[in-house]
Structure 1
Amino acid sequence: MILVTNNPKVSKEIKEIPVCFLEVEYGDVFKEVRRLIVEDKMILLTHPLSGSIKPNETYYKSVVLKPSSSDSIDIESLDYIDQGIEVYQKFMKNKMRPNWTQKVLEDFAFVDYYLIKDTLTRIPNH
């Protein structure tokens, strides 16, 4: 299992599984997840659009994947991440995110951290 994130709080606090911390934009997290699905044959364990925060309202995203037991691309995972990329692009095109204060960014980091931390407790055998 691996957790891909651009959230420094997640990178600092999550110790249960390997974390791939990327200093990139939200949409670039999706690009890396897509690469892992295609090139490394990983399978999504969390939905790319989990939570109720729109992609143009936050800077942080965390996604959990696991290795596939097959050598083929998991089409369902690929579909989900491609849909996530489309939604991200649509929201960013329609309304760019505000220039949030540091305090608001910390709040968004906490929300993403809390969501992924809670989710990890629900994934069997992590």
Structure 2
Amino acid sequence: MKNGRDFMIVTNNPLVEKVLSKYYEVRYLPEENYRAILITVRDLVYAGHKLYTHPLSGSVKPNETPYKSVVVSKVPHKMNADEAAIISNCVEAYDKFTPRNRMLSDKVLGDFQLIDYTLLCGAVDYDAAAGLSKLDNQI
């Protein structure tokens, strides 16, 4: 990734949208689940967008968290078969996990938002703590 003009973030994470949409292009899909985010990214990769972050990054299993953020190129290029295979394999891997149908408390949801946000900030070289402090100052 060269700079914020070269990529966009596909996410269902409200924390990512609140903090990073001021600085980067964010395709925020709040009604979508983790799998739907993977499918959206898959469709973008098939259309030629470059995959900049691995869709299954982090140590939280896909069936444990409702939030996912993935970075892709803003502009489509030529479709890359290797990247298409990566995202397709990620969808297949997600489908192997048994869905957890449980209600999560607001605190747990906030924790999962923070984990996804922090991983993403590392990928786009954004100071996660500074972003959160700016958010706290607005509240």
**Same fold per superposition (TM over 0.5):** yes
Deviations 1:68-116 (A, max 9, x none): 5x4x31111111111110111111xx34253211110010001100110
Matched, 1:88 2:88: no
Query: What's 2:25 paired with?
Result: 18
**Alignment RMSD:** 1.5
Matches within 5 A, 1:95-106: 95-106=99-110
Q: Find the aligned partners of 1:89 and 1:106 in 2 and give their Cα distance.
A: 24
- Higher Rg of the two aligned structures: 2
Q: How many residues align?
A: 117
Q: Find the aligned partners of 1:97 and 1:45 in 2 and give their Cα distance.
A: 30
Within the candidate set 42, 47, 56, 1:34 is matched to 42
Task: Report if the CA contact (8 A) 1:36-1:42 is conserved.
Answer: yes
- Give the counterpart letter for 1:115 in structure 2: L
Task: Report if the CA contact (8 A) 1:57-1:97 is conserved.
Answer: no
TM-score, normalization by structure 2: 0.79
Q: Find the aligned partners of 1:108 and 1:19 in 2 and give their Cα distance.
A: 18
Task: Report if the CA contact (8 A) 1:4-1:21 is conserved.
Answer: yes
Identity %: 38
Query: What's 2:72 paired with?
Result: 65
Deviations 1:22-70 (A, max 9, x none): 021010001110111112x1010000000000000000000001135x4
Task: Report if the CA contact (8 A) 1:27-1:85 is conserved.
Answer: yes
**5+ residue gaps in structure 2?**
1-6, 127-139
Query: What's 2:118 paired with?
Result: 114
**5+ residue gaps in structure 1?**
none
